[in-house]
Structure 1
Amino acid sequence: MRTVGLIVEYNPLHNGHLYHFQQSRQAADAQAVVCVMSGHFLQRGEPALADKWARAEMALAMGADLILELPVAYSSQPAEWFAYGAVATLEATGIVDSLCFGSESGDLGELDAAAALLQEEPPAFREALAEELAGGAPYPAAYSAAVARLLPGTDKAELAKPNNTLGLHYLIALRRLGSAIQPLTIRRTKAEYSQAEVTDARIASATALRKLLLEKGTLDEIRPYVPEATARILEREWHAGRAPVHWELFAKPLLQRLLTQTPEQLASIAEVTEGLEHRIRAALGSCVPPHTPVVDTLLGQLKTRRYTRTKLQRMLLRILLGHTKEELSADKLARGISYIRVLGFSERGRGLLKQMKSKAKVPVVTKVTTSPSPFLEMDIRATSVYSLAFPESSARDWLRDYYEPPVRTEEAPASATDDQEALGASSAK
């Protein structure tokens, strides 16, 4: 049985994701789909709109067969480590034949040429990157500019687009892991990754949908852009007080961390670099709760040409979660994953799990009884912190990883062919 892997966030799962799912399965000629999905906190340093179990349920309702959690150690990282952790998870299953990702270019050849160059990061590239960073460019722009200097003809602006950047790092990760997984890509159209406005009748970016949901305070505005199951699950989570989750709901615990940590303690936290601990303390005077949007104001005070909002969100998230540089050192991240956490599975996925008993390269966790892995312990703590956003949280919410079994579906959902034909556009991560 051919199996394709997808790397996703589904924040929330929308019609573009549905199209990408269908096209990926077709391009890979796959009978089963495995999704590696970020948990409660995402690649841009943001909390997920709904928790990881709700989003796993959305994916299963769409037709996915097995949902695996990308540990928070990797899920809120820059592209290099996010991609490495996700690809390492797919590789460790022992059952995935291909990886299909969305990209703005839709051209695997150009991205793979760059990946071949960057697999070992030659000294000339590191020198070019250092020069670009010294000129004040933010890291993503500096990285693409350095690649363009070594590969004449490369469009650095095109390479710097979010899904192209992620796609490049997926390919680099496949090479570094020596993986036999076949890469495939599908062009993203109609809605850009971070496009905040809706410009199509059926397709909108997750960014635009979150904006609509938070501004309008109702699900009605986003219903045309998401599968029915997504709307139903979000409505349930909303009524239960578990959604929508956003950064401002963490203002008080974040301030508690910022106000009780010394500059030296802040400097030990992952993503706190180049003296940012001092900028943070200076910026706190502008944050006056409860009338000020605390996190947004703080980000505005910290943002510079060098430090993007995404970089700063990741930094604040690591402070909120207490993740140190030592815990997330390059050496520890490079070791890859030491377990596979299952968030959900279909009946076909149950068969995949049986195959993984003999083929997986690391233990498969379906029930958390202990936390022998430091990265799994981080995920358990992340769940506890995430629950602080709920208006009423309980001990069960704080320790939900110990109580919540994987989400299950007994049979595959009905065919989504009609939806696929109606959408006619692709989306990525």
Structure 2
Amino acid sequence: MRTVGLIVEYNPFHNGHQYHLRESVKIAEADAVVAVMSGHFLQRGEPAVMDKWARTEAALRGGCDLVLELPTAYATQAAEWFAYGAVAVLEATGIVDAFCFGTESGEIEVLHDAAKLIAHEPPEFQRLLREELLSGKSYPSAYSSAIAAYLLSVGRKEAAGFPFAQPNHTLGLHYLIALERIQGRMTPYTIRREKSEYGQTTVTDSAIASATAIRKLLLEDGKLEASRPLVPSATYDVMQREWASGRSPVSWANFVQPLLHAVVTQRPDQLAEYREMTEGLEYRLLNALPELEHTGMEPLLEALKTKRYTRTKLQRALLSILLNHKKEDFTPDKLAAGVEYIRVLGFTSKGQQLLKRMKKEARLPVLLSAARSPVQSRYLELDTQATAAYMLAQPGHASSAAIFRDFTDRPIIIE
């Protein structure tokens, strides 16, 4: 059974995701789909609108056969480590033959060539990156500029003009860099993103919209019904149930009070210990609080944002405080050591066959529950702590039992 891997957040699973899934199966000539999905907190430093079990159910009903969790330690990172963790999980299963990601262009050759050239960051590339950062650019902007300059320096003039800075190109490049670094055997593919751009906030098509635009309908406009044409019927059914139960929707607004409590009860030197708290951001944060008219997330982000501190950078920094993510747990050496387990969130009947194979062929322990883990992993602790934090913030006020769902819940099974 040939399998294709997808790296996803599904926040929520929508029609564009279903298109990507189906096209991935075609291009990879696959018989089954394995998705590695972020848990409760996501790459841009945001909480998911629904918990990971609800999103797993929507993914399985939408065409995935096996859903694995990307550990929180990687899911909440910038592109380099997000990609590294996700590709490492897929490779470690031992059963994924190919993986497919969406890009703005649908072209993989330039990305693959660039990845091979800079995967191990040659000295000249490092020098160019330092120069770009010293010019005051944000890291993503500096990185893409350094790539273009380096490609020019090694004679890749045509490739140097490629739009590496576009969000999906950036992620795609890092997926391919990760594949080079771990010397993975999976075959990479890409397909072109259609009808909506990454992060687009408006709905411009009758059936396909970005996840950002759909979340705007759900969170800002409060229009669950308006999302119906933009998501598969199974996703809509899951959302209706989660909204009715009071478990969703979840947004940063649900976490403001615990976040501010964590901030105001610590000294600047203590805040500086958190991941992404760099260049004196702890002082900027503490100085901004007394000036706020309202203690919401949006006013706080607006007060903190600069050319250097992008919204995503700030959200990840604040999330690190909320989830107690200290720099000592996220050193490059520790992250490069890779994932230590494969957590199964759900599967179909076909996925159950894959799971049986994976238990024999995987290079890491396969976990169906955190309660029976054969490994003592700090990153697994961070996963269970993230679940507890998320459950406590759900609008319906989770019971104490919900805090420990990582230990009590079995994978979602869709026949």
Q: Tell me the TM-score normalised to structure 2 length.
A: 0.96
Give the CA deviation at 1:213.
1.1
Going from structure 1 to structure 2, the CA distance change for 1:287 and 1:399 (only over 3 Å counts) comes to farther
The residue number in structure 2 matching 1:398 is 403
Q: Secondary structure at the match of 2:226?
A: coil
Matches of 1:364 and 1:394, distance apart in 2: 28
Q: Which has the higher contact order (CA 8 A, sep 6+)?
A: 1
Matches of 1:149 and 1:158, distance apart in 2: 13
Q: Work out whether residues 147 and 160 of structure 2, in 8 Å CA contact, stay in contact via their aligned partners in 1.
A: no
2:351 to 349, 352, 368: 349
Give the CA deviation at 1:215.
2.4
Query: Structure 1 residue 177 and structure 2 residue 186: aligned?
Result: no
The residue number in structure 2 matching 1:413 is none
Map residues 161-310 of structure 1 onto 2, 5 A cutoff: 161-288=166-293, 292=294, 294-310=296-312
Q: State the 4+ residue runs in structure 1 displaced beyond 6 angstroms.
A: none
The number of equivalent residue pairs is 407
Matches of 1:224 and 1:286, distance apart in 2: 42
The residue number in structure 2 matching 1:44 is 44
Matches of 1:254 and 1:157, distance apart in 2: 40
Q: Secondary structure at the match of 1:89?
A: helix
The residue number in structure 1 matching 2:414 is 409
Matches of 1:105 and 1:296, distance apart in 2: 33
The residue number in structure 1 matching 2:342 is 340
Matches of 1:293 and 1:282, distance apart in 2: 14
Q: Name the aligned partner's letter for residue 351 of structure 1.
A: Q
Give the CA deviation at 1:370.
5.0
The residue number in structure 2 matching 1:128 is 128
Q: Work out whether residues 3 and 32 of structure 1, in 8 Å CA contact, stay in contact via their aligned partners in 2.
A: yes
Matches of 1:156 and 1:128, distance apart in 2: 16
Query: Structure 1 residue 113 and structure 2 residue 118: aligned?
Result: no
Matches of 1:21 and 1:106, distance apart in 2: 15
The residue number in structure 1 matching 2:314 is 312
Q: Work out whether residues 88 and 182 of structure 2, in 8 Å CA contact, stay in contact via their aligned partners in 1.
A: yes
Residue by residue over 1:107-141, the C-alpha shift from the partner in whole angstroms, topping out at 9 and shown as x without a partner, is 10010111011111011111111111111111111
Residue by residue over 1:360-397, the C-alpha shift from the partner in whole angstroms, topping out at 9 and shown as x without a partner, is 00000002215621111100000011112223221111
Going from structure 1 to structure 2, the CA distance change for 1:156 and 1:398 (only over 3 Å counts) comes to farther
Q: Work out whether residues 28 and 98 of structure 2, in 8 Å CA contact, stay in contact via their aligned partners in 1.
A: yes
Give me the identity figure in percent. 57
Residue by residue over 1:67-116, the C-alpha shift from the partner in whole angstroms, topping out at 9 and shown as x without a partner, is 00000000010000000000000010000000100001211001011101
Q: Which range moved further: 148-157 or 396-405? A: 148-157
The residue number in structure 2 matching 1:418 is none
Q: Name the aligned partner's letter for residue 213 of structure 1.
A: L
The residue number in structure 1 matching 2:364 is 362
Q: Secondary structure at the match of 2:402?
A: helix
Q: Which runs of no fewer than 5 residues in structure 1 stay unpaired?
A: 411-429
Matches of 1:156 and 1:369, distance apart in 2: 50
Query: Structure 1 residue 385 and structure 2 residue 389: aligned?
Result: yes
Q: Secondary structure at the match of 1:69?
A: strand
Q: Which runs of no fewer than 5 residues in structure 2 stay unpaired?
A: 153-157
Give the CA deviation at 1:357.
1.7
Q: Work out whether residues 145 and 156 of structure 1, in 8 Å CA contact, stay in contact via their aligned partners in 2.
A: no
Give the CA deviation at 1:182.
0.1
The residue number in structure 1 matching 2:155 is none
Q: Which range moved further: 300-309 or 152-161? A: 152-161
The residue number in structure 2 matching 1:424 is none
The residue number in structure 2 matching 1:2 is 2
Q: Work out whether residues 144 and 157 of structure 1, in 8 Å CA contact, stay in contact via their aligned partners in 2.
A: no
Q: Name the aligned partner's letter for residue 143 of structure 2.
A: Y
Matches of 1:241 and 1:376, distance apart in 2: 27
